[in-house]
Amino acid sequence: MFGSTALALLSSICFLLSLNFATTAFVLLIVIVLLALRDGLVSSVTFTAVATACLVFLFVEPIYSSAVDEFWGLVPLAAFLSTSLVIVSLIRRLHMLERAHGEQANLLNLTTNAIFLRNTDHVIVYWNRGAEELYGWTREEAVGTVVDELLQTVFPVPRPEIDSRLLQTGRWQGELIHTTRCGKKVIVASRWSTHYNDLGLTIGTLESNTDVTECRRAEDALRRIQAAYLTEAQRLSHTGSFGWNVSSGELFWSDETFRIFDVERTMFPSLNLVLERTHPDDVTAVRQAIGRAARERHDFSHEHRLLLKNGEIRHIRVVARGTSDDKGQFQFIGAVMDVTAQKKAHSELERSEQRYRHLFSRMPIALRQLDASKLAGLFKRLRAEGVTDLGSYFDSHPEFLYTCMEALSYQESNQRFIQMFGGPGAYVVRPVTHSWKERPDTFRRAMESRFRGEANFEEETRMVTWDGRVIDVLFITARVGPINDSEVSLVGTIDISQRLRVQERLRQVQAEFAHAARVSMLGELTASIAHEVNQPLAAIATNGAAGLRWLARPNPNLAEVHEGIENMIANARRAANIVARIHAMASRKAPERTFLLLDDVIRESLLFVRQEMESRSVTILHRPDPTAPQVLGDRTQLQQVIVNLAINAMQAMMQAGSECRKIVISTVRHDSSAICCSVEDSGPGLGAEHIDRLFESFFTTKDSGMGMGLPICRSIVEAHGGEIGADAHGAEGGARFWFALPVPASTVCE
């Protein structure tokens, strides 16, 4: 409304001033331009229409009329109208361009990147908000300045190279170093794009910069850490790295490579230096390897020795891979490994294997190696099925024992094994089934031991040789490697046939000595034995005579005769028992072990010495243990031990002239696995200097002793798996002898 009123008023003023059409039209055109700059398109068109109407009404004949009489009056009106519309349209386009530029500027201000536009003279013509925040200069301060002078730009390459790339492609990107208003150095990732006009001519460059300072610092720190870790890893693993530019001959070494070659870090690495450090005997091979690698340019691996300045020899392994860089230059990137320790370990391993080979082949023990890989697989399957007790599994699957035998096979054997078992050579593989025909129970126990995870097993057994002989051996096996997965076993067998024969002969000699000792002991008890036998014989004679008298009467008393005959029978049996005991003691029969109570053996033994003790005024007291379990032993041999200890006690008291002569024989359960019998007397005791020698053969403290009784007692007790000993003084004041016998496991369970 204001614009239309202003145009009408201005037209009236021009009319009153008698201005012509052209002048008035020019004035109105200026006003329309001013109004168009202020208002929108619709308003500008409206103003143009109002101005045209004013010109028609006031300046075109007829005046004060909207009609135009002459054609030529329309021409200036058409020119005015078209000119006004064109100007309004141009102004509108200018408004739109300004608005678009403003929106673009606002968009560029939204980004955090520093964006600015510079002309061909490198003068800044645009500076966004991101640039203000990054560099510190405002738009007003930055626009109009030369960018490289303002930011003190440091380029990664010469500036002409960047300009050349920008001219060729219209783009460039890289990292620059800029200085901010406060003097801080920042690293930016810069992207440049050439700005062209409509004619394709360069009018400037748009530069977008992203601050990567902290990122680069973090990367540098990470690289330093990685380099430190790499250096430490190389030092710990004795592995250095190197680069070899084949084209230029340059070498690049890591710190560890310098250490391996024993070269100062300040020295320049070269192929000549490598050859200087190489052992003289390996120089030719190394030179050939270098020449071949340079010529063929293939990946390579080589081992050789270094001879250091101090005379130390170092073994190294060099591996490298070939590659080409961006410029087409071929180079090797590789590693240098100090393998001296591995070489020494390998050498030591070879020596150890050689020693083992010599020991294996030259040991005087029959040795053979078993392949247990199939057996390990069988056991693994059983464990997977939940089997934990192989013995129970054998009971329910007896055929599995022979499956285990077939799963084992002999491999290498030494010469002693071949001599003992006969058959083929050392390296012939054969199953073990044949060897266990005589004693499969030993093999079963060996398998149970293996299944339990035990590393070793040994047992005295009998094995069958390849030629059918049965030999007594000590069987020993050791598993090599993890017990449950061991695939190799070492078997040793020692022929103990001769030892068993010697032991059997020793047992015979001991039995003969024991028999001789018993006979000798019976000789000492002759008077007592005669007295013991005479008593029932005298009773038999008396009862016989009395019976005859009862029968000789006119009226025989048959009841008395019957009673006398019964007494005769009882005394005959008593005499027979005495003779049987003496016969058992004097006989030379083989030992026969049975389950018996030790207190019963003691009671029977005291019958031998009762008369002897009574005649010498010796009191014998037996203190049994009613809870004592049975032991496994030979009754006659145990009686011999007890009688011998009792007679020794009696003789010691008689020799010392003791007035109070007392012997106490006690049994007591030592623990759950043994029972102990002690014989104590009231004599003078034992000298401390004699304790350690009492059980030596031919050592005696008696005036007329031979020193064989106690050694025989010891051999008997030890043959029963027990032990015997003596104390200088016991509870009764004199000596105390004792022996302990093991209680069988079955008896303990009962």
pLDDT digits (tens, 9 = 90+) for 621-671: 999 998 888 999 888 788 878 888 888 888 888 887 777 889 999 999 877
Fold entry, domain 496-590: Helix Hairpins (1.10.287)
Structure tokens at 300: 């390579």
Q: What is the DSSP letter of 278?
A: B
Alpha helices in 17-73 (DSSP H): 21-38, 41-59
Most confident of 66-70, 246-250, 568-572, 596-600: 596-600
- 153 is written with which tokens? 């730009």
Asked if pLDDT for residue 747 goes beyond 90, the answer is no
Q: Does the predicted model carry a pTM greater than 0.75? A: no
pLDDT, tens digit, for every residue of 230-241? 666 667 767 888
CA separation for the pair 305, 327 (Å, rounded): 35
Same fold for the pair 111-211 and 496-590: no
* 368: pLDDT strictly greater than 80: yes
Structure tokens at 110: 């939204």
**DSSP per residue, 675-691:** EEEEEEESS----GGGG
Note the pLDDT tens digit of each residue in 526-537.
655 665 566 667
8 A C-beta contact, residue 147 and residue 127? no
Backbone angles phi, psi at 160, to 5 degrees: -60, -35
CB-CB contact of 556 with 566 (8 Å): no
> Which CATH number applies to 591-750?
3.30.565.10
300-307 and 313-324 as β-strands: parallel, antiparallel, unpaired?
antiparallel
pLDDT of residue 54: 72
Tokens representing 418 are 């071949």
Q: Which pLDDT value is given to residue 427?
A: 42
Cα–Cα distance measured from residue 305 to residue 42, given in angstroms and rounded to the nearest whole number: 96
| Best CATH choice for the domain 218-344 from the list 3.30.450.20, 3.40.50.1970, 3.40.5.90, 3.20.20.80 | 3.30.450.20
pLDDT at 749: 45
Q: Report the SS3 class of residue 183.
A: coil
**pLDDT per position as a tens digit, 131-149:** 888 899 998 899 999 999 9
Q: Dump pLDDT digits (tens) for 377-428.
A: 899 999 999 999 999 999 999 999 999 988 888 777 888 888 888 755 444 4
Burial of 405 from C-beta contacts in 10 A (0-12 / 13-18 / 19+): buried
CATH superfamily of 364-494: PAS domain (3.30.450.20)
Alpha carbon of 450 to those of 387, 389, 437, 442, 539: distances in Å? Answer: 14, 11, 20, 12, 69
Q: Which residues pair with 330 in a beta bridge?
A: 324
Measure the CA–CA gap between 493 and 325, rounded to whole angstroms.
68
In the CATH scheme, what is the homologous superfamily, with its name and number, of domain 111-211?
PAS domain (3.30.450.20)
- For 399-403, 445-449, 526-530, 692-696, which range has the lowest pLDDT when averaged over its residues? 526-530
**C-alpha 190, offset from chain centre:** 53
Report percent pLDDT > 70 for the chain. Answer: 75
Torsion angle in degrees (nearest 10) through CA of 479, 482, 485, 487: -40
Domain extent listing, the chain = 2-98, 111-211, 218-344, 364-494, 496-590, 591-750
Query: Residue 213 pLDDT > 80, yes or no?
Result: yes
pLDDT at 581: 61
Alpha-carbon span 184 to 3, nearest angstrom: 56
Q: Which of 607, 609, 593, 585 is nearest to 515 (CA)?
A: 585
Rounded distance between C-alpha atoms, residue 507 and residue 256, angstroms: 74
Strands (E), 446-577: 456-464, 470-480, 488-495
**For residue 616, what are its two tokens?**
């010498």
Instruction: Determine the Cα–Cα distance for residues 359 and 708; give it in Å rounded to an integer.
Output: 45
Q: How far apart are CA 693 and CA 599, in angstroms?
A: 29
